[in-house]
Structure formats: C-alpha cells, structure tokens
C-alpha cells in the first residue's frame, strides 16, 4: 500500500474522486451488522484517526467482507482505494482493499498529522503561557498544579463526542481558543478580572477529561461511568475543590489570606466563572 496516508479530514475536504492508490490509516471504533432492503447483509465499520471519523460500508459481495467480519473495535487498519465525497452519505470508499497496520504505522497514526501535532503543541504552549501570566498567586498555583497533574490526560481529551473539537487533543484546541479570546476582551474591557477569566476557562471543561477522554494509545473513546453519571460540570467542580484543598496545605497559603478578595471568597467566585464559561 501507499506509504503516505491521507487523513480523514483531508479526504472529506476533497470534492471528487481521488486517484487510485490513496491510502487511509485508521482505527476501528465500532462494527455494526445490518441488512439491505433486500435482506442482504452488510457491515458499517466506523473508523477514526486523529482528525475525524467516517463509516466504511462493506457489502456482502465485497472481497474483504469476510475479513471485515473478523475485525474488532480497536483494530488498526490501512484502507487503499478511491475515496469519494457523496453529498448524501459523506465520505465513501470505492475499489478498496484492507490490511492491518504495522507497528511503526500504528505509532505514526496515533501521533497524528504533522500540522495537527504542531497546532496542538502550540495551543498547549499558549495555555501554559496564559496560566503562567496569572498574577493572583492562588489561581496561578492552582492552574500550575492542574497542568502538572493532568497535562497528559488534558492533551488527549476531546472537546466533545460529536460536535466541536470532537477529536483527540480537541479540548486543548478549544481551551486555547477561548483563552486567546478572553485575553483580547480584557484589553478592550480593562475592568474585567483577567485572572478569574483565564482560570475559569482553563477549568470550565476539565471534567471532559473523564467524560470525553481517549485511551493512551487509542482513538476509541470509551464511556466512563463517572463521566456518564455525574457529567463534566460536576466533575470539574469536584476537581477544583480537590486541587484547592491541596493549595491549603502549602506553607504560603496563610499569607494569601491577606490578599483581596479573601481566599474563602475566591473559590466561589471562581466556580461561578467556571459555570458561566460552561454554559
């Protein structure tokens, strides 16, 4: 197969049929057995990469049908063929073949396209820079503690399952975008509390690290019991409370009570900003 795969998002942007030999590397997210109106069996194989997902329909007379019946969620595959954007059904594959990915190809797929890697790396550095610029020592240390403890999980979480930034690393993109917007607003409205805004944005979707998080080596997003039962807002508030109580153990914390507003007032104000950002 071709050694240079094309990302799903890029294939979806292309309006016509690609030249034969286009290769897609992806991970199987789900396989659903269905029947046509004529009661003929076929499969819908949902595949995903770092950019997006699409459904591969495998008809019963396709040479790879039997192979695809043996696929499982989490399998890494390479599909080579012609990819076409159907106005009614989205991305479709024609004249395609399939085979498992090699170990080095799997590692490359999980890393994502170079441009997306560069964007998410820059976005995370933007978040670190904004967090480092927070002047209030309590919110500054709270943000630093969060990035230290949960930075890895934060970087692989999605902004959502099916809507905005619904991909691995999408939460970082979403938060960086909001922080840049908030920072610009504070230059126009200097009476706004920049520290509270930036910290609130950093934490406003933190609960999605459980509600919408991918595995360390997977594009498959499992359903987390905690995330499903509590939701990201409640989880985020609990996360902030836990980190805040860690701050209270620091030797410097008693001195921060001399700051205005008082530390006991900062947490509820901060939680209010979090909820407004989420809403």
Pair (137, 271) in one structural domain = yes
Strand locations in 36-75, DSSP E?
Answer: 41-48, 53-59
Residue 96 lies in a domain: yes
Q: Would you state the structure tokens that stand for residue 236, as one six-digit string?
A: 């985020």
| pTM metric for this prediction | 0.77
Pair (103, 216) in one structural domain = no
Pair (71, 192) in one structural domain = no
* 191 vs 179: CA distance, rounded Å: 17
Which neighbouring-strand residues pair with 97?
80
Q: What is the CATH number of the domain that holds 43?
A: 2.40.50.140
Q: What is the pLDDT of residue 88?
A: 83
The mean of the pLDDT values for the chain is 88
Q: For residue 1, what pLDDT band results from cuts at 50, 70 and 90? A: low
**Number of folded domains in the chain?**
2
Residue 3 lies in a domain: no
Q: Would you state the structure tokens that stand for residue 230, as one six-digit string?
A: 């509590």
What are the φ and ψ backbone dihedral angles of 40, each rounded to 5 degrees? -90, 135
Residue with the two structure tokens 């799903």: 8
Q: What is the pLDDT of residue 159?
A: 87
Residue 1 lies in a domain: no
Which neighbouring-strand residues pair with 58?
43
More confidently predicted of 217 and 226: 217
Pair (97, 171) in one structural domain = no
More confidently predicted of 253 and 125: 125
What are the φ and ψ backbone dihedral angles of 2, each rounded to 5 degrees? -60, 140
With 0-12 CB in 10 A as exposed, 13-18 as middle and 19+ as buried, what is 143?
buried
Q: Would you state the structure tokens that stand for residue 53, as one six-digit string?
A: 């997902």
Q: Would you state the structure tokens that stand for residue 21, as one six-digit string?
A: 């030999």
**Does the pLDDT value for residue 211 go beyond 90?**
no
Q: What is the mean pLDDT of residues 61-78?
A: 95
Share of the chain above pLDDT 90, in %: 55
Q: What is the mean pLDDT of residues 30-57?
A: 94
Q: For residue 33, what pLDDT band results from cuts at 50, 70 and 90? A: very high
Q: Give the closest residue to 175 by CA, choosing from 37, 183, 217, 235.
A: 183
Q: What is the pLDDT of residue 165?
A: 84
Pair (99, 117) in one structural domain = no
- Residue 98 lies in domain: 8-107
Q: What is the mean pLDDT of residues 194-220?
A: 89
Strand locations in 111-253, DSSP E?
Answer: none
Q: What is the DSSP string of 240-262?
A: HHHHHHHHTTSTTHHHHTTSSS-
Q: What is the pLDDT of residue 28?
A: 95
More confidently predicted of 243 and 232: 243
Note whether 27 and 74 are within 8 A (CB).
Answer: yes
Pair (72, 161) in one structural domain = no
Pair (146, 219) in one structural domain = yes
Q: For residue 226, what pLDDT band results from cuts at 50, 70 and 90? A: confident
Q: What is the mean pLDDT of residues 102-122?
A: 90
Q: Give the closest residue to 210 by CA, choosing from 219, 198, 222.
A: 222
Q: Give the closest residue to 143 by CA, choosing from 190, 177, 212, 194.
A: 194
Q: What is the pLDDT of residue 278?
A: 60
Q: What is the pLDDT of residue 89?
A: 82
Pair (163, 196) in one structural domain = yes
**Does the pLDDT value for residue 279 go beyond 60?**
no
């Amino acid at each position: 197969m071709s050694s240079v795969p094309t990302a799903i998002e890029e294939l979806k942007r292309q309006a016509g049929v690609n030249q034969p030999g286009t290769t897609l590397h992806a991970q199987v997210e789900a396989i659903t057995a269905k029947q046509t109106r004529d009661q003929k069996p076929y499969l819908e194989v949902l595949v995903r990469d770092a950019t997006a997902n699409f459904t591969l329909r495998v008809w019963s007379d396709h040479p790879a049908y039997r192979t695809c019946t043996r696929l499982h969620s989490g399998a890494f595959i390479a599909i080579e063929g012609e990819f076409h954007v159907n106005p009614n059904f989205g991305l479709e594959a024609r004249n395609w073949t399939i085979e498992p990915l090699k170990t080095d190809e799997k590692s490359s797929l999980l890393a994502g396209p170079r441009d997306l890697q560069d964007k998410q790396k820059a976005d995370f550095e933007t978040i670190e820079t904004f967090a480092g610029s927070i002047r209030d020592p309590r919110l500054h240390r709270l943000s630093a503690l969060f990035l230290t403890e949960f930075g890895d999980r934060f970087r692989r979480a999605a902004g959502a399952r099916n809507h905005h930034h619904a991909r691995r690393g999408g939460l970082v993109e979403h938060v960086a975008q909001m922080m840049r917007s908030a920072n610009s607003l504070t230059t126009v409205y200097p009476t706004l509390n920049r520290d509270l805004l930036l910290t609130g944005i950093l934490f406003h979707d933190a609960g999605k690290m459980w509600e919408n998080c991918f595995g360390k080596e997977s594009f498959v997003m499992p359903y987390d019991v905690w995330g499903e039962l509590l939701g990201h807002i409640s989880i985020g508030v609990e996360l902030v409370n836990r980190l805040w109580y860690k701050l209270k153990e620091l030797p410097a914390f008693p001195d921060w009570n001399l700051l205005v507003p008082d530390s006991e007032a900062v947490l509820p104000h901060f939680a209010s900003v979090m909820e407004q950002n989420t809403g």
